[in-house]
Structure 1
Amino acid sequence: MFIHVLEKIDNISEIKEIIIPCPTNFIHKTQQIISDYRFTKPIFCVEGGESRQESVYKGLKKASYENTIIHESVRPFVTPDTFKKLIHANNESAILGLDIPFTVLNGKSIVEGILKREELINVQLPHKYNTKKILYAHECAREDELHFTEDAGLYFHYFNSEISILKGSEYNIKITKPIDRIIAEAIHKETILLGDY
Structure 2
Amino acid sequence: MKAFVLLASGEGRRTGFRKQFALLCGKPMFMHALEKALGLFDELILVLPPDAVESTPVPPGVKKVAGGKERQDSVYEALKVVNAELVVLHDAARPLTPRELFLRVTQLGPYDGLIAAARARDTIKEVENGRVVRTLDRSRVWHAQTPQAFKTEILLACHERARKEGFLATDDAALLERYGYEVGVLESSFWNFKVTYPEDLKVAELLLCGQPVSSARSNSGQPSSGGSSSGNSSR
TM-score (norm 2): 0.72
Secondary structure at the counterpart of residue 132 of structure 1: helix
Q: Runs in 1 of length 4+ with deviation above 2 angstroms? A: none
Counterpart in the other structure of 2:33 = 5
The residue identity in structure 2 corresponding to 1:21 is: V
Q: Is the helix fraction higher in 1 or 2?
A: 1
Please list, as runs of the form range in 1=range in 2, the aligned pairs for 1:51-130 lying within 5 A after superposition: 51-90=70-109, 91-107=111-127, 108-130=129-151
Corresponding position: 1:25 with 2:51: yes
Please report how far the alpha carbon of residue 92 of structure 1 lies from its aligned counterpart in structure 2 after TM superposition: 4.1
| Aligned 8 A contact 1:21 1:46 in 2 | yes
Counterpart in the other structure of 1:189 = 209
Instruction: Please identify, of 178-187 and 64-73, the stretch whose mean Cα deviation from structure 2 is larger.
Output: 178-187
Once the two structures are superposed, what CA deviation does each residue of 1:93-136 show, in whole Å capped at 9, x if it has no partner? 11111111112211242222322121110011001100010011
The verdict on how the C-alpha distance between 1:92 and 1:155 changes in structure 2, with shifts beyond 3 A counting, is closer
CA distance in 2, matches of 1:104, 1:144: 31
Identity of aligned residues (%): 29
> Which of residues 138, 144, 148 in structure 1 aligns to 2:169?
148
Counterpart in the other structure of 2:216 = none
CA distance in 2, matches of 1:92, 1:187: 34
| Aligned 8 A contact 1:171 1:187 in 2 | no
Instruction: Please identify, of 171-180 and 104-113, the stretch whose mean Cα deviation from structure 2 is larger.
Output: 104-113
CA distance in 2, matches of 1:103, 1:29: 45
CA RMSD of aligned residues (A): 1.5
The residue identity in structure 2 corresponding to 1:23 is: P
CA distance in 2, matches of 1:9, 1:132: 22
| Aligned 8 A contact 2:112 2:154 in 1 | no
Counterpart in the other structure of 2:199 = 179
Counterpart in the other structure of 1:193 = none
Secondary structure at the counterpart of residue 44 of structure 1: strand
CA distance in 2, matches of 1:189, 1:124: 23
CA distance in 2, matches of 1:109, 1:5: 38
TM-score (norm 1): 0.86
The residue identity in structure 2 corresponding to 1:52 is: R
CA distance in 2, matches of 1:105, 1:171: 23
Counterpart in the other structure of 1:168 = 188
Corresponding position: 1:136 with 2:164: no
Greater RCO (Cα-Cα under 8 Å, separation 6 or more): 2
CA distance in 2, matches of 1:86, 1:21: 20
CA distance in 2, matches of 1:147, 1:113: 26
CA distance in 2, matches of 1:3, 1:145: 33
CA distance in 2, matches of 1:82, 1:162: 20
